[in-house]
A and B are shown apart, each in its own frame.
Chain A
Amino acid sequence: MNELQVDNLHVAIGDQQIVRGLGLTVPRGEVHAIMGPNGSGKSTLAKVMAGHPDYQVTKGKITMDGEDVLGMEADQRARKGLFLAFQYPSEIPGVTIANFLRAALQARLPEGEELEATEYYAKLYEKMELLGMDRSFTSRAVNEGFSGGEKKRTEILQLAMLEPKYAVLDETDSGLDIDALKVVARGVNTMRGPGLGVLLITHYQRLLNYIVPDHVHVMVAGRIVRSGGKELALELEERGYDWARESAGEMAVTR
């Protein structure tokens, strides 16, 4: 039951259907990748999983370790162990990274219990070192004036600090140069293990050279049209999304 499961999910924004019957299972301990062209609904899927209020789930369900997720508020999902690394993280003016993460960790403690400050900073500095971040970063306001690379690194830092059960990484590779990509990948790879299930959402195969997935899914027009091992990513890179689109078409016909 230790898995994040999406079953026959349909999502609309207004009148427009974006996700149309998507199914997916990510057990803890595995890394799954979703690849797909622009407009296939990848980012919508990520936001819906995290509980973004703008999207309307018209059908289907999402469960985490067997527990229904769709009935929970976004913050409740987060505290239960679901993490989303945003494609475009928000700026929080005046709130330092140190204070933000502290508040986030504090929110996970039972009422009346206080986060131990010394341990907290020790852990924060350790994770920052892993991600090659200078300590002075802790006193900068979250994402304010950050470069694209700094933002993505900060997302991974939060992932490392919050230690979720499941992490959805939405196009974490976009806008990164190769050095930054390697750092981010190192961060994720260090966290890989039996306690964490990862869903990598990406447009390009490049990221998967550094974070090697256990399974690859191809998403087209709001559905998974093909699933396979890591070699599927390479095949897709070679043959292009049109090939996947054709498959989707075949599926639509056969259904």
Chain B
Amino acid sequence: MKPEVKAVDIDRNKGDFHYKVDYAKDAGRGLSEKTIHFISDVKEDPDWVREFRLRGLKTFLEKPLPTHWASKDLETIDFDKIRYYLAQGAGAKRSWEEVPEDIKRTFERLGIPEQERKFLAGVEAQFDSEAVYSNIKKAVGEQGVIFVGSTEGLKNHPEIFRKWFGKVIPIGDNKFSALNAAVFSGGSFIYVPPGVKVKHPLQAYFRINAESFGQFERTLIIADEGSEVTYMEGCTAPKFETATLHSAVVELVALKGAKIQYITVQNWSSNVFNLVTKRGLAHEEAEIKWIDCNIGSRLTMKYPGVVLKGRKARGEVLSIALANNGQHQDTGAKMIHAADETTSNIISKSISVGTGRATYRGLVHVPKHLKNCKNNTECDALLINATSRTDTYPAITVRGTGNAVQHEASVSQVSSEQIFYMQQRGLTEAQAMSLSVNGFVNDLVRQFPMEYSVELKRLIELEMEGSVG
């Protein structure tokens, strides 16, 4: 067999390294108005952005942690110890040659430039707070597609940027969206003009290099009428002793008849709190699809959502979560139906290994006045060990008549008889376990782009290696 091309190489062992980098711009530890002004000054923010940040800070400080429903583990985050902005201040380069050597070698080691040459339409690479590289293939750029960092987006394309920024996910949506509003830096801004179909994926790679650091990228994707785009993101961080915070906000806008596919394969190291807000707004006949794979991190809280605003809009969340020893994957989906004939589909599969815990939270909302809306929700959990845990919290509110909702949930276990059977065929216990887990997610993975399914299978194998014995 030929070696297969990997979409995002996010093998955690491979990602567990870090180089010493001199940061010219360092906001120091802790969060105050001073921090905000430091960031705004460094980034030369327009006044409206500075104000937006200050409102974000105020909201963040006012809002309590959501521990009445979420994990108490959130309380262990020491917001005063975190470093909120770290950059070399060199800006995003258009070619890898211009990227400072000490940063470039990190991405080379992760294989990003190579993948870009092979099959991507554009790449953005973020190192701690800022994009260090951002480039789009010439042919794609000539079609009018914009793919830049958020800072560049808000400065150079304010007419599009301002119209949608913070509209899908308002500052006060939750405590962590407010935090992101206050200190956001990096992330992508994408605009696809009407009718343009971007054939190859655009990719972003988020890399945390510094200890006790918080990464707060902000991504905004706008697909104009009838356009199509696929965006993929990968993330890694070295394994530090102290907690690292990753708190992104991602807003998608699909205008009439547009299609956005957003793919995440995250493999954070086990010290990362990954608290991310992701939501899309689908206009008439538009389609937004989130493909979300969560492996690693200490605690992930992420519920990608779609607001189905226009008639016949479609929303989909396909998610896979793998919670290993000591990890908690608290993930799910939100589907807000706000127009007739809208359809949504949620398929969630989780695997809990060792003392890992996977939680599914789903919200499906269909108000009374709507007609012919459909939702399908399936969530399946697989428990590997007796100490593994899973919980499901579906919240489905469907009012009125003429709407159809379907919900299925299952919990299963890999039985010892099944493992013995597979071992009798010559597979080691770990190989047997890994094959069972891959079988469990197989029907979902088949819907992923090829490069991703290969990568995901390999990651699952790596995760399962230490799970038995």
Contact = CB atoms under 8 A, between A and B. Distances in A.
B417 A90 contact: yes
A50 B420 CA distance: 9
Nearest to B444: A94
B427 A104 contact: yes
B420 to A, nearest CB: 6
Interface string A85-120: 010011111110001110111011000001101000
Contact of A79 (B415, B422, B426, B440): B426
A180 interface: no
Contacts of B423: 51, 73-75, 78
B425 A100 contact: yes
Contacts of B422: 90, 92, 100
B349 to A, nearest CB: 10
Given A79-B426, A158-B425, A94 B442 contact: yes
A53 interface: yes
A84 interface: yes
Contacts of A162: 425-426
A75 B426 CA distance: 4
B439 A94 contact: yes
B431 interface: yes
A170 to B, nearest CB: 11
Contact of A92 (B1, B421, B431): B421
B435 A95 contact: yes
B439 A107 contact: no
A229 B75 CA distance: 76
B436 interface: yes
Interface string A120-131: 000000000000
A206 interface: no
Given A89-B421, A90-B418, A95-B442, A100 B426 contact: no
B436 A75 contact: no
A59 interface: no
Contacts of B425: 78, 100-101, 104, 107, 158, 162
B435 A117 contact: no
B71 interface: no
Interface core residue of A75, A77, A79 (most chain B CB under 10 Å):
A75
Interface in B109-125: none
Contacts of B438: 94-95
A135 interface: no
A78 B424 contact: yes
A91 B418 CA distance: 7
Contacts of B424: 50-51, 74-75, 77-78, 83-84, 86
A92 B427 contact: no
A73 B422 CA distance: 12
A103 B439 contact: no
Nearest to B421: A90
Contacts of B299: none
A232 interface: no
Contact of B420 (A53, A79, A101, A104): A53
Contacts of B415: 90
A107 B434 CA distance: 13
A92 B426 contact: no
A53 B421 contact: no
Contacts of B439: 92-95, 141
Given A89-B421, A90-B418, A75 B428 contact: yes
Contacts of B26: none
Given A94-B443, A95-B436, A103-B435, A74 B420 contact: yes
A104 B436 contact: no
B211 interface: no
B14 to A, nearest CB: 19
Interface in B402-441: 412, 415-418, 420-429, 431-432, 435-436, 438-441
B431 A103 contact: yes
A77 B417 CA distance: 17
Contacts of B418: 90-92
A117 B1 contact: yes
Contacts of A108: 426
Contact of B421 (A83, A86, A99): A86
Contacts of A100: 422, 425, 435
A103 B430 CA distance: 12
Interface in A25-75: 50-53, 73-75
A51 B424 CA distance: 8
Contacts of A101: 425
B417 to A, nearest CB: 5
A64 to B, nearest CB: 14
Given A52-B420, A90-B421, A107 B426 contact: yes
Contacts of A117: 1
20 contacts: A50-B420, A51-B424, A52-B420, A53-B416, A53-B420, A75-B432, A79-B426, A90-B421, A90-B422, A91-B418, A93-B412, A93-B440, A94-B443, A95-B435, A99-B435, A100-B425, A104-B425, A104-B426, A107-B426, A114-B1
Given A93-B412, A104-B427, 9 more contacts: A52-B420, A75-B424, A79-B426, A90-B415, A94-B440, A95-B438, A104-B426, A107-B425, A115-B1
Interface of B: 1, 412, 415-418, 420-429, 431-432, 435-436, 438-443
Q: Which 5 A-B pairs have the closest CB atoms?
A: A94-B439, A95-B439, A94-B442, A90-B421, A74-B423
